[in-house]
C-alpha cells in the first residue's frame, strides 16, 4: 500500500506531515505510517477522452488538485475516521463521502 516516492509532495495538516501525489486520483500517506493510504477520488477526468465520442463527461464540475484542496481533503478524511489503513473518499458537489463497495 505504500506510495512510490517519485513525484511525492509534502503537506502538513493538523500538525502532521503527509506525502501526496496526483495520478488521476490523489494518493496520500502519513509520514509516520507509510502503510496507510488515503485515496481521494475528486472526479477528475481528461476531457480529451470524450472528444468525438457520443459519451458525455460526468455531470459535475471536478475540483482541481491544489495543495489547499489536498489539505482540506485530508482534514475531511481525518474527521471521517481515517487514522490507519486504507480509505477511499469521494468528493462530489462540495461534499466528502466514503466510497462503498456493494
Q: Higher confidence at residue 101 or residue 36?
A: 36
What is the 3-class SS of the chain, one letter each residue? CCCCCCCCEEEEECCEEEEEEECCCEEEEECCCCCCEEEEECCCCCHHHHCCCCCCCCCCCCCCCCHHHHHHHHHHHHHCCCCCCEEEEEEECCEEEECCCC
Task: Report whether pLDDT(101) > 50.
Answer: no
What is the percent of the chain where pLDDT is above 90? Answer: 43
Domain ranges of the chain: 9-98
Question: Where residue 102 falls among pLDDT bands split at 50, 70, 90?
Answer: very low
Residue pLDDT, tens place only, 11-22: 999 999 999 999
pLDDT of residue 17: 95
Residue pLDDT, tens place only, 59-93: 656 677 899 999 999 999 999 999 889 999 988 87
Task: Report whether pLDDT(32) > 90.
Answer: no
pLDDT of residue 9: 93
Amino acid at each position: 500500500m505504500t506510495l512510490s516516492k517519485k513525484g511525492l509532495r509534502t503537506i502538513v495538516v493538523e500538525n502532521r506531515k503527509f506525502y501526496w501525489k496526483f495520478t488521476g486520483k490523489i494518493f496520500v500517506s502519513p509520514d509516520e505510517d507509510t502503510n496507510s493510504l488515503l485515496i481521494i477520488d475528486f472526479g477528475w477526468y481528461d476531457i480529451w477522452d470524450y472528444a468525438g465520442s457520443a459519451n458525455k463527461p460526468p455531470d459535475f464540475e471536478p475540483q482541481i488538485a491544489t495543495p489547499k484542496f489536498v489539505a482540506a481533503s485530508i482534514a475531511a478524511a481525518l474527521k471521517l475516521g481515517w487514522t490507519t489503513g486504507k480509505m477511499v473518499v469521494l468528493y462530489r458537489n462540495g461534499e466528502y463521502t466514503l466510497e462503498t463497495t456493494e
